[in-house]
Amino acid sequence: MSVEITWQDIALRLFLTVAGGALIGLNREEHAHSAGLRTTLLVCLAASLSMIQVNLLLGIAGKAQNSFVVMDLMRLPLGILSGMGFIGGGAILRKGNLVHGITTAATLWFVTVMGLCFGGGQIGLGLCALALGMIILSGLKQVEKHCKQDRHATLVIAAGQNALPEAEITQTILAAGCKMEVTSVTMGENAALQEMKCDIKWKSRAADTQTFSFLKELSARFGLAKIDLNIEK
């Protein structure tokens, strides 16, 4: 990185920063994620401007002979990275057993570093980062859609006129490729099983909108009063 930079250099760095931040932001905006176009652009541009400011200040003498003051220019981009830790932490939300916003926080962190690269004049490194970032955000998303993931759900079955045949219900659920664990049961008169609550697990792709055919089978065979399936995504 040269100590002396021209306005042409600054314009090129800002152009690449805006272009890179916009491409990442448009990808986020297209999928309706938080930290969309404006957010990623502002974060990337702020990081780039901090590095341009550092570059402009490199020609200034850092310490006079009769002074103990030392100008540490790298504190500026380091402060930008530290500040992004707070913004990224605010983007992460926890709801029960689910955690949202990790990719958003990682994207903000990534565009910050990319902006530092462009602002510092490492054009090739910044372009490589942009290309890899687009591949990760767009290309790998398609790979994730075809990967089977563990799924969890809570199933509540209530009897109709007759008691629940627990063994047959269990066999039907297992035959559908699900694992199950009974968590609670409700008994009626004469120790008849009236309601059963269980956790079920299975594997499916993220894009699958699976309709559980065994639920219809259970209802048709045993005349159930209620089947409540709560899927945890």
Does the pLDDT value for residue 99 go beyond 60?
yes
Q: How far apart are CA 159 and CA 195, in angstroms?
A: 6
pLDDT at 63: 57
Q: Which residues contact 159 (CB under 8 A, 6 or more apart)?
A: 188, 192, 193, 194, 195, 222, 224, 225
pLDDT at 15: 92
pLDDT at 208: 64
Q: Would you say how long the chain is, in residues?
A: 233
Distances from the Cα of 101 to the Cαs of 26, 40, 44, in angstroms?
Answer: 17, 14, 18
pLDDT, tens digit, 9 for 90 and up, residues 189-212:
777 788 888 888 888 776 665 557
The residue ranges of every structural domain in the chain are 7-145, 148-232
Tokens of 216: 């219809």
Q: Average of pLDDT values for 211-219?
A: 73
pLDDT at 127: 93
Does the pLDDT value for residue 39 go beyond 70?
yes
pLDDT at 73: 73
pLDDT at 35: 72
Q: Average of pLDDT values for 67-78?
A: 69
Q: In this structure, are residues 222 and 169 in contact, taking their beta carbons and an 8 Å threshold?
A: yes
Q: How far apart are CA 41 and CA 168, in angstroms?
A: 58
State the architecture of 148-232 in CATH terms. Answer: 2-Layer Sandwich (3.30)
Average pLDDT, the chain: 79
E strands present in 24-129: 93-95, 98-100
| Residues linked to residue 199 through DSSP beta bridges, in sequence order | 154, 181
pLDDT at 193: 80
Q: How far apart are CA 166 and CA 182, in angstroms?
A: 10
